[in-house]
Amino acid sequence: MPVSSTFMFVSQLDPDRREALELLLSTMTSEPGLADPNNSVVPFARLPGLHFARIVILDDNTAADNGAYGIATNPAPPKLAFLGDIDGRGEDFVKDLAGFAGPGLSRIFSHCLDFNPAVPLAAWLTAHNVEPVVNYSNWPGRTVRQVHDEAALRAALISYLPQERGLAASPSDLHRRLRNRAMKEGRKPAARQAVSLEERLREALDLAISVVFLVVLSPLLLFVAPLFLLILRHRETTDASMLARPSEEHLKSLVVREDFQVTNQFSAYGTVKPGRFRLWTLIFVFWVLGVTTRHLYTKGRLARVGSIHFARWVFLDNHRHLFFGSNYDGSLEAYMDDFVNKAAFGLNLVFSNGIGYPRTRYLILDGAKDEQAFKYYIRRHQLPTEVWYKAYPGLTTADIARNARVREGLDSARLSDVLARQWLAEL
């Protein structure tokens, strides 16, 4: 499949220049938090392989909760993060980014303490790039161009329907006529790039290594499981659980940036519970999640949730903090309900290792099932995203998948009436 990558440039923000930075970032938006694709600072629309991007200030808003665990309650210094999801290789994107938006990016990162204008921007960005511990893509290998081409194809086919339907003798004939017209007008996008043998072998090797590692490790896991569960249950029954409501001021700063499109952004930042036990548990959970996102959840769904375009988990500050960012369809309320109802165990596996999460049992039970406490936790850890960009506004994951099926239906010159009816129902 075509190569896809992520980027996340992180640098410590100069607190004295925060207000000036926020003012600059506001000039990049058409609505609060929603990027103008052609803004003069970072013209996102000029980066054809960029799916999503965001600029967010990472604040440890819940640092006061840390006192319940005997660790410092003074917030970590704020950081500035610019992150996104791209087609192609990261090093190529950084060069393009520095070329298209070098002056604007320099203006943005000049508000950071360690920005050095004497260093070539591409080199500085590369040095400040932080890799995700886990990355999820709704459909790996689907490019920005493919999304746009397939949306345009379906729109063209719909425009042909009124005329062609009256001339067709059957559903199969209507499919053929629509296909011929699309081909004649050059509307049919090129077939998606086939996965090379080298890529197939690399994926197979990665899966094989993961399976072998798990098999080799399984006797040890079985041996330590009773001790692990004892320690876990002790931690679960004694760890503090903060059920405080998010402040009205904080909620307003979030809500004002939501629901301008069919898709929304989510940025959250929090502290990992202290001690090696929780950290190693979280690292192992992320290892398993990484294997599943690379090899199992590759066809439009994360567990049973199909509304996420991209998501990532990132360790920061030597594993003391965890950042989670996602791009999802619908409202945040619906997004949270989706996970609570369909994949609460997955939420518990990861986020119960963070300070303030509702109490769990045996790592996967309860937790997010305390719906109100979970939603308070989410909102308290959520951060306002200062600038957010989506390359294909108006298209949900369901729309994109449907458009892909429409394109695939034109691969065959002739369909049976049954298959043609099914294909026509997608229009």
Q: Please check the confidence at residue 373 and state whether its pLDDT lies above 90.
A: yes
Query: Which of these, 390, 143, 380, lies nearest to 265 by C-alpha position?
Result: 390
* Predicted confidence (pLDDT) at residue 234 exceeds the cutoff of 90: yes
134-137 β-sheet, strand order? 134-137, 308-316, 321-329, 263-271
- Predicted structure pTM score: 0.94
**Strand extents, DSSP E, 167-284:** 263-271
Q: Is 264's pLDDT higher than 90?
A: yes
What pLDDT, on a 0 to 100 scale, did the predictor assign at position 195? 66
**Cα 159 from Cα 338, distance rounded (Å):** 35
Q: What is the mean pLDDT of residues 139-158?
A: 95
Mean pLDDT score across all residues of the chain: 93
Q: Which two tokens stand for residue 321?
A: 């903090």
Q: From CA 231, how far away is CA 224, in angstroms rounded?
A: 11
> Stretch 79-83: mean pLDDT, rounded?
98
Q: Note whether 8 and 82 are within 8 A (CB).
A: yes
Q: Which two tokens stand for residue 152?
A: 């345009």
Considering Cα of 81, then 84, then 90, then 92, what sign does the dihedral take?
negative
Confidence tier at 220 by pLDDT (50, 70, 90): confident
According to DSSP, the residues that pair with 357 across neighbouring strands are none
**Among residues of the chain, what percentage have pLDDT more than 70?**
97
Query: Is the pLDDT confidence value at 92 over 70?
Result: yes
Is the pLDDT reported for residue 421 higher than 60?
yes
Which tokens sit at 195? 């996965």
Is residue 250's pLDDT more than 70?
yes
Spatial CB neighbours of 308, under 8 Å, sequence gap ≥ 6: 136, 138, 302, 326, 327, 328, 329, 397
The whole-number average pLDDT for the span 5-14 is: 97
Q: Identify the pLDDT of residue 7.
A: 98
pLDDT of 205 reads: 85
What is residue 313's predicted lDDT score, i.e. its pLDDT? 98
Q: Answer whether 172's CB lies under 8 Å from 344's CB.
A: no
Write out the two tokens for 299.
Answer: 């066809």
d(CA 266, CA 277): 28
Q: Are 410 and 427 in contact (CB under 8 A)?
A: no
Residue 241: the pLDDT is: 84
For 116, the token pair is: 């050095």
Query: What pLDDT does residue 235 have?
Result: 95
DSSP 8-state symbol, 237: H
Buried/exposed 311-336: b ≥16 CB within 10 Å, e otherwise: bbbbbbeeeebbbbbbbbbeebeebb
Q: Does pLDDT of 1 surpass 60?
A: no
Q: What is the mean pLDDT of residues 389-406?
A: 97
8 A C-beta contact, residue 257 and residue 332 = no
Strand, coil or helix: 11:
strand
**Each residue of 323-334: pLDDT tens digit?**
999 999 999 999
pLDDT of residue 2: 61
Note the pLDDT tens digit of each residue in 21-52.
999 999 999 999 999 999 999 999 999 899 99
Would the pLDDT of 200 be above 90?
A: no
